[in-house]
A and B are shown apart, each in its own frame.
Chain A
Amino acid sequence: MISLSIFGIENNALLAVVAALTGFGLVALAMWLAGLISPRSFNPQKGEAYECGIPTRGVSMSQFKVGYYLFAILFLMFDVETVFLFPWAVRVQEMGVDGLISIAVFFGILVLGLVYAWRKGALEWK
C-alpha cells in the first residue's frame, strides 16, 4: 500500500511555501545567532577586497569573456526544448509509434541546431 502526501495535506502550494519559509528561517536564524555570539572588531583594512595584500586596481564588476554568454544562449535553446519534451515524455507510452514519429521532426530540427552550432565553432572555448 503506497500512501500519499504527509498528514494528508493536499494543498501542495502551501507545503512548497512551508519549505521555502523553512529555508528562509534557517538562514535568518543562523545569522541572528551568529550576530549574537560572534565578536566584532573594527579595522579599516578588513573592509578591503580579498586580494594579494595591495589595494585592488580598476573595477572588479567589469566585462568578462563573451564565451560565457554564448554557452548561456545555447543552454537556453536546449532547456526550452527540454520543457517542450516533458509533456510528450509523459504520454509517449500511450501514443506509441505515432508519438515517435510526431516528435522525430521536432527532434531533427533540434539536432540540426546542435550540428550548426558545432560546425560554426560555438562549442569551442577560445
Chain B
Amino acid sequence: MYDLSLITDWIHNLLSSFMPGWLTTTVECVLIGVGLLLVYALLALFYIYFERKVCAAFQCRLGPNRVGPWGLLQSFADMFKMLIKELITLKHIDRFLFALAPYLVIIASMLSFAVLPWGNGLQVLDFNIGIFFLLAVSSIGVLGILLAGWSSNNKFTLIGALRSGAQMVSYELSIGLSVLTMVAYAGTMSVTGIVAAQEDLWFIFSGHVPAIIAFVIYLIAGTAETNRGPFDLPEAESELTAGYHTEYSGIHFGFFYLAEYLNLFIVSGVATLLFFGGWMPLHIPGWDGFNEVMNYIPSVVWFVGKAIALSFIIIWFKWTFPRLRIDQLLTLEWKYLLPINLFNLVLMVLVIVFGWHF
C-alpha cells in the first residue's frame, strides 16, 4: 500500500522549516479547506455528467455530446448557466431562514464529506467516534430541507419539505441500524479503525449473512436518504413542481442540486467504508502475490472507484423502478426494513459471539 502521508509529511516538513508552528497549522488548515472545496466541486461536476450519461444509456439515447469532446464540458456549462441566472427577490418569504437553508444543507454534506476515508494517510477528520459523527452531521441536512420548504411560504414547498423530512428521518433509522450492525462487527467507530479491520478481507465477504443483509438495507435506505431513485417523491414533479426548492432560483437552487449529488457520493462512500473496505485494496487471504499486485493501485483510486461503482447502482435504481407513494414508502421502512434490521442486528451479535464469521 502506498502511504500517501509521504506527500503530506513532505509539505508539513517544508512548511515547518521556515514557519512557526501556529502558522504551519493555519496554512495546512487552509490547504485542507481548499482541497475539500476542489474535490467537492469536481465530484459534483463529474456526477452531473455521469448521471446524464447513465440515464441516456438506459433510455437508448446519446446524452450530452455537443459541449467539448463527448460532452465532457457540459456540466461546466450547466454551472455557468446557473451562476448567471437572476436571483429573484421574493416578497412573501421568511428572508433569514430562506437564506440560511442552503448553508445548512451544504455544511452538513461538507462535514460528512470530510469524514470519508480518502486514502492511506489522507483521512481528514479522524475522530474515535468517526462514523457516529458522520451520522450526526448528516442529519443536519434534513433541517436545511425543512427550513427551505417552510420559509418559502408556498404550498408546494411545504408539502415537499414535509414529505422529505418524514422520508429522511424514517430511513435514517435503517441507515443507523445498518451502521450499528457493522460497528458491532468491527468493534470500533473510528473510520481508520474500520478500514484497518478490513485489511485481510472486506466486511461484505467476511461478515457472513448479516453483513449482506445490512448492505442491501443500507443501499435501499441510502437511496431514500438522498431523495433519489424510486424514492424521489419529495420533488415529484407531476404533483409538486419541484418540491422543497420550488422558490429557489439560480445558484440558490444550485446548492440543493449540488448537495443532492454529493450526498449520493457520501452514501456510496460510507457503504464503501463499511462493507467494501474503504480505501483498502482487494485482499484475499492466502493469495500473497495477488495481494501484492493489488497494493500497487493507489488507495485513492480504490476508494473513489468503489464509491462510483456503488453510486452507479443507485443511479440504476432510478431508471428501473417506478416512484413509490408516500404510504408505500413509510410501510416499506417501518414494517419491513426496521424489523428486518432489528433481527439482523441480533443475528450479527450471534455471529460475533459464537465466532461464525470468516
Chain A positions within 8 Å of B, measured between CB atoms, are 1-9, 12, 14-16, 18-27, 30-31, 33-35, 37-41, 46-51, 56, 60-62, 64-65, 67-68, 71-72, 74-75, 78-79, 82, 85-86, 89-94, 96-97, 99-100, 103, 107, 110-111, 114, 118, 123-125
Contact = CB atoms under 8 A, between A and B. Distances in A.
Contact of A85 (B169, B180, B255, B327): B180
Contacts of B199: 2
B85 interface: yes
Interface of B: 1, 3-5, 8-9, 11-12, 25, 28-29, 31-33, 36-37, 40-41, 83-92, 102-103, 106-111, 113-114, 120-127, 132-133, 150, 153-156, 158-159, 162, 165-166, 169-170, 172-173, 176-177, 180-181, 183-184, 187-189, 192, 195-196, 199, 241, 246-247, 250-252, 254-255, 326-327, 330-331, 334-335, 338-339, 342, 345-346, 349-350, 352-353
A68 B166 contact: yes
Nearest to A92: B184
B37 A47 contact: no
A78 B124 contact: no
B32 A7 contact: yes
A19 B125 contact: yes
18 contacts: A7-B9, A7-B31, A9-B25, A19-B111, A19-B124, A19-B125, A25-B37, A27-B103, A33-B251, A34-B84, A34-B87, A34-B252, A39-B84, A46-B89, A60-B154, A67-B166, A91-B187, A123-B334
Contact of B180 (A25, A50, A64, A82): A82
A25 B195 CA distance: 30
Contact of A6 (B32, B339, B342): B32
B88 A15 contact: no
- Name, among A12, A68, A90, the residue most crowded by chain B CB atoms within 10 Å (CB to CB): A90
Contact of B189 (A37, A61, A86, A100): A86
A78 to B, nearest CB: 5
Contacts of A90: 183-184, 187-189
Given A19-B36, A90-B187, A107 B346 contact: yes
Given A34-B250, A68-B165, A107-B346, A49 B89 contact: no
Contacts of B3: 1, 3
A79 B171 CA distance: 11
A27 B339 contact: no
B1 A75 contact: no
Contact of B12 (A7, A78, A89, A124): A7
Contacts of B36: 19, 22
A61 B158 contact: yes
A93 B187 contact: yes
A125 B345 CA distance: 27
